Amino acid sequence: MRITRVLSAAALMLGLAVTPAVADSTPSPSASEDGGAPTEAGTSFRTATEIEQGQTATASGSTGDYLYWSFPADAGQRPTVRATVKLPDTHAAETWQIDVYDGLRRRQSCQSGAQTRAVAADAASVEVACVLRTVRAWSEPWAGDPLPGTYYIRLTVVDLATSDLGLPVDAEVRVDSKDIGGAAAVDGELAHPLVPGAGAISESGEDEYTKKTLLASLEPSGGWASGWWSDRWVWTAIGGALAALAGIGGYALTRGSGRPSRVPPGA
C-alpha cells in the first residue's frame, strides 16, 4: 500500500512537470489576422518593413528593385521564409533570389529551401524559400550562428534581360517558425537580443533638428526568452523523479517485511 501511494505521488509530480511544456508547445492562434499586414517593402536595411511571424506581407515593385522586410526571431525557433513573386505577362527568362541577414547584417545560410530559382520566359510567378538554422540563445562571436533578434529579408532578381528592367511585379512574403525546444538549448544567453535601437539623424535646413528613428520595434509575442526556458527542464525533472522512484523501489524490495521474526523461548 505504501509503495502504491509513493507511485501515485510520483505520477502526480510528473504530470505537474510536463504541464508547462505542454502549455508552451501549444500553437498560438494562426496570425491570419492579416488585416493589418504591411502592403509595401523597404528599399534598404534601414527602411526594411517590419512584419510579424505568421503574417503575409505584400508589396509592389519593379524588376531590379531590392525589396526588404524584417522580422523578430527568438532562441529555439527555426524560421522558414517564403516569397512568391507574380511576374508580368511578358518577360524573358530570369532568376530570383531571397537572402536572410541577422541583426548584425551577417548573411545567414539556408539549411534547405530553393533560395535561388530560375524561371522560363513568360512564367506567371516564381517561389523562393529559405529555412534558416535554429536560432541559438548564445554563440561564440566567430561562429556566425543565428542569434535572437531582428532578421532582414532581401528579395531581388539576380539575372534578367536588360529589356525587362523596371517591369512591374507583385511580391508576397511570409515567415513561419518551428519551435525546436530543448534540443537546441545551450548553457548561455545574450545580454540583449540583436535588435537595432533608436538612432538620431540630423538634417540640415533653415533650422537644424534631430529626428529620432526607431529601426526595429517588433518582438516575439511572448517577449524575448533568451533561452531561459526549454523542455530540457521537463526532461531533467522526469529523470530526477524516475531516479527517486528507482531508489524507493529498491529500498522497498531489499528491506523485507520490516518486522523481526519471533524466536520461541528456549529454542
Q: Measured between alpha carbons, how far is 209 from 174 in angstroms, rounded to an integer?
A: 37
Amino acid making up residue 251: Y
List 73's β-bridge partners, or say none.
149
Q: Quick check: 180 and 78 in contact, CB under 8 A?
A: yes
- The grid coordinates listed for 123 are 512564367
Of the pLDDT bands very low, low, confident and very high (cuts 50, 70, 90), residue 258 is: low
Q: State the pLDDT at residue 201.
A: 37
Map grid coordinates 534578367 to a residue. 160
Task: For residue 151, tell me if it sits in a domain.
Answer: yes
Task: Provide the residue range defining the domain that includes 156.
Answer: 16-22+39-202+209-234
First to last CA, the chain: 34
Helix axes 2-25, 232-254, angle to 10 degrees: 170
Task: For residue 133, tell me if it sits in a domain.
Answer: yes
Q: H or E segment at 58?
A: strand 56-62
Which among 36-45, 212-221, 233-242 has the top mean pLDDT?
A: 36-45
Domain count, the chain: 1
Mean pLDDT across the stretch 120-129? 96
Q: What does DSSP say about strands 107-108 and 94-101: parallel, antiparallel, or unpaired?
A: antiparallel
Task: For residue 256, tell me if it sits in a domain.
Answer: no
Mean pLDDT across the stretch 257-264? 58
Mean pLDDT (the chain) is 77
- 3-state class (DSSP) for residue 218: coil
Task: For residue 219, tell me if it sits in a domain.
Answer: yes
